[in-house]
Structure 1
Amino acid sequence: MNFGATFWGPMISFALFVWFTMKFVWPPIQQALADRQKQIADGLAAGERGKEELDKAQAEVEAMLRDAREQASQIINQANKRQAEMIEEARAEARSEADRILASAREEIDQEIQRAREDLRKQVSTIAVQASSQILKREVDAKAHKDLIDELATQI
Structure 2
Amino acid sequence: MDLVTPGVGLIFWQTVTFLIVLGLLAAFVWKPIMEALRAREGFIEDSLSAAENAKKDIEKLKNDNEYLMQEARLERDKMLKEAAELANKIKEDAKDETSKITAKMIEDAKAVIQAEKSSALNEVKGLVADLSLDVAEKVLRKKLEEKKAQEDLVEEFIKDIKVN
Q: Taking structure 1 as the reference length, what is the TM-score of the superposition?
A: 0.78
Using the alignment, how far apart are the partners of 1:75 and 1:11 within structure 2?
88
After TM superposition, give the deviation of residue 21 of structure 1 in Å.
1.7
Equivalent residue letter for 1:42: D
After TM superposition, give the deviation of residue 42 of structure 1 in Å.
1.9
Pick 1 or 2: higher relative contact order, CA cutoff 8 A, min separation 6. 1
Alignment map for 1:85-96 (pairs within 5 Å): 85-96=89-100
Query: Which residue of the partner structure matches residue 22 of structure 1?
Result: 26
Which stretch shows the higher mean deviation, 90-99 or 8-17?
Answer: 8-17
Query: Which residue of the partner structure matches residue 75 of structure 1?
Result: 79
Percent identical pairs in the alignment equals: 21
The equivalent position to 1:114 in structure 2, one of 99, 107, 118, is: 118
User: What is the total number of aligned residue pairs between the two structures?
Assistant: 136
Distance change (3 Å), C-alpha of 1:6 and 1:116: closer
Within the alignment, does 1:135 sit opposite 2:139 as a pair? Answer: yes
Partner SS state of residue 102, structure 2? helix
Using the alignment, how far apart are the partners of 1:88 and 1:10 within structure 2?
108
Structure number, greater radius of gyration = 2
After TM superposition, give the deviation of residue 62 of structure 1 in Å.
0.7
Equivalent residue letter for 2:96: A
Using the alignment, how far apart are the partners of 2:69 and 2:49 within structure 1?
30
Alignment map for 1:92-103 (pairs within 5 Å): 92-103=96-107
Query: Which residue of the partner structure matches residue 145 of structure 1?
Result: none
Structure 2: gaps (5+ residues): 1-8, 145-164
Structure 1: gaps (5+ residues): 141-156
Using the alignment, how far apart are the partners of 1:70 and 1:7 within structure 2?
85
Within the alignment, does 1:52 sit opposite 2:59 as a pair? Answer: no
Q: Taking structure 2 as the reference length, what is the TM-score of the superposition?
A: 0.74
